[in-house]
Amino acid sequence: MGVEKTVARPGNGTDFPKKNDEICVEYTGWLYDDEAPDNKGTQFDTSLGRGDLTTPIGAGRVIRGWDEGILGSDEIPPMSLGEIATLTITSDYAYGSRGFPGHIPANAKLIFDVELKAINVVTQQLNCRIMREPPLPPPNRIIVSRVVGTRLRYADVRRNPDSVRLVQ
């Protein structure tokens, strides 16, 4: 199957992302569950409350199911600006046999609600809030001390006051 797309709200029908365009999306992801309403089982990720995701699409930065669900394929039309869709993605188009330890089990089928809010900063008054700054650090910690892979590391002032430095 790969990817199945169900449109919840059509977009403007004129602006479509192309490979390597920078898109801005709001999303929520669930594990697929045959028993749950709308097959939405355990929620494993969301941009709600954290800020929209801005990423190049079709550049291998997201799972294959997102690339095809957003850009379209022979079987699926592309999303247009402002569209809200539900993407049901088989494991081979998601995280496959390795899963995502601690969040997504091996061979998991996933469901995402995705709203395409901007394409190369074409917002059409959709108020896309592009997150360029890291989220605020946890309480009692200040300043991002370094980025390791995709995880932010914070200086802990209680344990290591010398690790705090002013970033201009």
Domains of the chain listed by start with CATH number: 3-119 (3.10.50.40), 133-168 (no CATH)
27 is catalytic: yes
Closest CA to 21 of 122, 139, 156: 122
Q: Which is the catalytic residue, given 95, 104, 119, 154?
A: 95
Q: Given the residues 23, 63, 104, 111, select the one marked as catalytic.
A: 63
> What does the pLDDT read at residue 162?
47
Catalytic residue of the set 70, 112, 113, 119: 112
Does residue 118 surpass a pLDDT of 50? Answer: yes
pLDDT of residue 23: 95
**Averaged confidence pLDDT in the chain:** 81
Q: What is the mean pLDDT of residues 14-33?
A: 96
Which of 15, 45, 92, 156 is catalytic? The answer is 45
Catalytic: 100? no
Mean pLDDT of 120-142: 48
| Annotated active-site residue in 16, 21, 23, 27 | 27
pLDDT (0 to 100) of residue 1: 75
Indicate the SS3 state at residue 67. Answer: helix
**Known catalytic membership, residue 95:** yes
pLDDT at 156 over 90: no
State residue 121's pLDDT score: 72
pLDDT score at 150: 41
**44 catalytic per annotation:** yes
pTM over 0.85: no
pLDDT given for residue 133 in this prediction: 40
32 catalytic? Reply is no
63 catalytic? Reply is yes
Q: Which of 44, 76, 84, 142 is catalytic?
A: 44
User: In the structure encoding, which two tokens stand for residue 17, read together?
Assistant: 């992302």
Among 137, 130, 111, 152, which Cα is nearest to 27's? 111
pLDDT digits (tens, 9 = 90+) for 32-86: 999 998 999 999 999 999 999 999 999 999 999 999 999 999 999 999 999 999 9
